[in-house]
Amino acid sequence: MTSVTERVVIVGAGQAGGRAAEALRAAGYLGEILLFGEEPHEPYERPRLSKSLLLGEEPPAAASLHPRDWYAAHAVTLRTRTRVEAIAPKSRAVITADGQRVEYSKLLLCTGSRVRPLSGAPDGLAGVHYLRTLDESERLAAELTPGRRLIVIGGGFIGLEVASSALKRGATVTVVERQKTLLDRVLPAEIAARLASLHAAHGVSLRTGVPVARIQGNGAVKSVQLADGTELAADLVVIGIGVIPNTELAETAGAASSDGLVVDEQCRTSLEHVYAAGDVTNHYNPILERRVRLESWQNAQNQAIVAAHNIAGKTRPYSEVPWFWSDQLGTNIQMVGVAEPGMQIVWRGERVAFGLADGRLRLAVGFDAGGEIRVARRLIESRAQLSPQRLADGAVKLKDLLAEATCSASTP
Ligand SMILES: Cc1cc2nc3c(=O)[nH]c(=O)nc-3n(C[C@H](O)[C@H](O)[C@H](O)COP(=O)(O)OP(=O)(O)OC[C@H]3O[C@@H](n4cnc5c(N)ncnc54)[C@H](O)[C@@H]3O)c2cc1C
């Protein structure tokens, strides 16, 4: 049983931090839990920020992780508007921006990530937005009125979701992407092309393969100039060019970091008694047999739960097939696994694409195909050799392929 004099300090009151507090209690941890977050809000989930909240379909409270009274009811001390500035690992303490020193028995870092700034973007120009926080989502939603000309800089998932929501709110939308294809970092080109067609068919203007030269305006944004000289008139600009993991706090304290804080399968960093979970981590995925840094709801949720269990003394490894979803223009997009350079792409009809490497399924992307993606996740997990022809053949049930894969895996 846990002594009540123990204290877990969680830094970062986002999705991972909030879920970890909940999971600690669920795992029977009886010590103190102190949750520090620099935002003014209680922990919330971000996926709605670019979807229903931007569309005004739900109130901001819909994104909250827990009801307001949950924290007191579960003896979780939540300190919002409090940034943790430093970690003193030897004396097992954190120091807040207002100078408090708080000791911990175990420390969990859920500091997430922040938006990557567009270099050269002018500061304080009205109409120029980033989207990471609830406040930013509310400010953008207030400006998304019909007829406005929106330029989205960055053709990743966030940018494309903003494009989709803005279109629905009556804006005219252009997406500018410096790479030749959308979603260059996360999807093979031929699968990303499907998304480009979806956006084009709904009237989103796509400018790929050209970087932005400058954002122009005087007080308020007027236009975006591209490197090829094109000038796009703009009332609003949303910059969505990726995120940077918030590793500095732990790095300064000596934690190992390589594209995210390096954690082991129990979510332990290289610092004793210090764990990490969510966007900020880089972990080895035994199913994919490689290290990954994931920016997803699933990873924030489930890695945080695993970290909490390990902190509570219940040894549990984190091992899951990565899963991500996005909603755009009335289409639900789901992907499982991760893209790898040079993978073989196989389409199963119009709605599902598979990515194979060395005969194994490593990636599946579905367009309104949740059922198929659920089976594909298990096919990736099986790590079985699969026939591309049979995966592509709509007459062959994926469930049958899974039965064969699991059967061959259990045959000595
Ligand atoms: C607009 C948007 C839409 C998304 N949509 C999807 C989706 O459809 N599907 C999907 O799978 N994923 C989606 N994601 C990604 C998903 O929301 C993130 O992966 C998830 O929020 C990561 O959770 P986290 O707790 O690790 O980090 P974060 O959510 O970044 O939370 C970290 C918190 O820690 C705080 N913090 C950082 N440093 C300190 C410090 N030193 N002291 C105190 N507090 C600190 C930060 O202010 C922040 O509040 C979306 C993300 C965004 C922004």
Would you tell me how many other CB atoms lie within 10 Å of the CB of residue 387? 14
Q: Is 47 in the pocket of ligand 1 (CB under 6 A)?
A: yes
Contacts of 397 (CB under 8 A, 6+ apart): none
Q: Is the Cβ atom of 242 under 6 angstroms away from ligand 1? A: no
Bridge partners (DSSP) of residue 291 are 284
| pLDDT tens-digit series, residues 208-226 | 999 999 999 999 999 999 9
Q: How far is the CA of 193 from the centre of ligand 1 (A)?
A: 27
% residues pLDDT > 90 (the chain): 96
Atom of ligand 1 nearest to the CA of 297: 11
| pLDDT(1) > 50 | no
**Residues near 289 by beta carbon (within 8 Å), at least 6 away in sequence:** none
257 lines ligand 1 (CB under 6 A): no
Ligand 1 in reach of 278 Cβ (< 6 A): yes
Choose one of 11, 96, 111 to mutate for the ligand 1 pocket test, by most ligand atoms within 8 angstroms of C-beta: 111
Q: Could you report the per-residue pLDDT of 88-121, keeping only the tens digit for each? A: 999 999 999 999 999 999 999 999 999 999 998 9
CA 226 – ligand 1 centroid, Å: 30
Ligand 1 centre to CA of 20 (Å) is 14
Which pair of structure tokens corresponds to residue 122? Answer: 């002018």
Judge if the beta carbon of residue 83 lies within 6 A of ligand 1: yes
Give the closest residue to 175 by CA, choosing from 203, 197, 154, 149. 154
pLDDT, mean of residues 4-17:
93
239 Cβ closer than 6 Å to some ligand 1 atom: no
For 261, what's the count of Cα atoms within 13 Å in the CB-facing half-sphere? 32
Q: How many Å from the N-terminal Cα to the C-terminal Cα in the chain?
A: 41
278: Cβ contacts below 8 Å, ≥ 6 apart: 12, 14, 15, 16, 17, 110, 112, 299, 300, 303, 304
Q: Measured between alpha carbons, how far is 244 from 52 in angstroms, rounded to an integer?
A: 25
DSSP for 204-258 reads: -EEEES--EEEEEEESEEEEEEETTS-EEE-SEEEE---EEE--HHHHHTT--BS
Compute the CA torsion angle 369, 177, 174, 123 (nearest 10 deg): 120
**Which residue's C-alpha comes closest to atom 9 of ligand 1?**
325
Q: Whose CA is nearest to atom 53 of ligand 1?
A: 132
Q: For the sheet with 231-233, list strands across it.
A: 212-218, 220-226, 231-233
| pLDDT over 60 at 3, yes or no | no
Alpha-carbon distance values, 373 to 195, 244, 290, 335 (Å): 17, 29, 21, 7
Tell me if 236 sits within 8 A of 127, measured CB to CB. Answer: yes
- What pLDDT, on the 0 to 100 scale, is given for residue 410? 62
The dihedral region occupied by 232, where left means phi > 0, alpha psi between -120 and 50, and beta the remainder, is beta
Mean pLDDT of 64-72: 97
pLDDT tens digits, one per residue of 284-334: 999 999 999 999 999 999 999 999 999 999 999 999 999 999 999 999 999
Q: Whose CA is nearest to atom 30 of ligand 1?
A: 112
Beta bridge partners of 5: none
Pocket probe for ligand 1: among 42, 45, 46, 137, the residue whose CB has the most ligand atoms within 8 Å is 46
Nearest ligand 1 atom to the CA of 277 is: 26
> Which is the closest atom of ligand 1 to the Cα of 39?
47
| Full-model pTM | 0.96
- Average pLDDT of span 174-190: 96
Q: State residue 412's pLDDT score.
A: 56
| CA 14 to ligand 1: nearest atom | 31
